[in-house]
Chains A and B, each alone.
Chain A
Amino acid sequence: MASCGTPMLSPEWQAVSPRKRRGSKACGLVGLSLVGLLAGCTIKFGSLPRTDHLDSLMVGVSNRADVLLALGEPRGNGVARLTTELAPRTIWFYEYFESPFTGSIDLKILVVFFDQDKYDGHFWFSSVQEPNYVIR
């Protein structure tokens, strides 16, 4: 049985030409490298919502251009009719997705409300570990 250190080759393997053996080893190394590469990879979609810029927005005063300037382009949109009395609000949707190949998934979601063209509020939640992450 082969041990760690100098590998012992079976008689069948020794019968394979050195060139083919080198090819197989290279193939194996590429495979192992790719596996290692994927294991160390993190997939990311969207960009982190700039929740630290929300303080610059004023309800009923800031418009869509102000929100765009403060928060950037949204990744999606939506609509809210929260009660029968309340007029519909349009929504800009910001999201960031991060997942290492090890299985965990982290999300940061920001929802911004507009009443007509004016900024009307927001909410956000997140499981993303950001450096210097401060929740006020």
Chain B
Amino acid sequence: MRHKPRWTIVACLASWILMSFLGSGCGIQMVAGSRPNIDVLEKSLRMGESTAADVSAALGEPNGKGRAMLPIESKPRTMWSYYYEEGTLEDDRRMFLFVYFDQDRFDGYMWFSSLPK
């Protein structure tokens, strides 16, 4: 039985995989987090009334929690952050959502996104 040197087999495999990978538009798909449903911010949640539990039920658990005191604020507020990203080697897009709380009450939000609607 004939044996090719091992490096040629590895290199052939690598080139075949890479060529089919590049030729197919680089079929890698990357997703980070889960996309928050921003519609609930106006439809289900009420500023000054909804609680943190309501927000959690509507948007899911946040990726992060912190505190914010922006120049427009008179006191620090609790802030939850949501992040979602999806992409391939051809394009990559993301969404940020920040939700603010005054004590335990939903008190504002900010989202921005480059994802398709």
- Point out residues on A near B: beta carbons under 8 Å: 9-10, 12-13, 15-16, 24-25, 27-32, 34-35, 38, 43, 45-46, 75-84, 86, 91, 93, 95, 97, 111
Contact = CB atoms under 8 A, between A and B. Distances in A.
Interface string B22-49: 1000000000000000100100000110
Contacts, number: 111
A83 B108 contact: yes
Contact of A34 (B14, B96, B114): B14
B63 interface: no
B8 A77 contact: no
Interface residues of B, number: 41
A82 B110 contact: yes
11 contacts: A12-B1, A12-B3, A13-B4, A13-B5, A31-B14, A46-B114, A76-B93, A76-B112, A81-B108, A81-B109, A81-B110
Contacts of A29: 11
Given A27-B11, A93-B113, 11 more contacts: A13-B2, A16-B2, A29-B11, A31-B16, A46-B114, A79-B109, A80-B108, A82-B70, A86-B72, A86-B108, A93-B114
A97 B12 CA distance: 32
* Dominant SS among interface residues on chain A: mixed
B72 to A, nearest CB: 6
Contacts of A91: 110-112
A97 B38 CA distance: 24
A110 to B, nearest CB: 10
Contact of B3 (A13, A77, A83, A111): A13
Given A13-B3, A28-B15, A31-B15, A83 B107 contact: yes
A41 to B, nearest CB: 9
Given A24-B12, A27-B8, A97-B92, A34 B18 contact: yes
Nearest to B87: A45
A38 B70 CA distance: 43
Contacts of B87: 45
Given A34-B14, A35-B18, A45-B87, A79 B100 contact: no
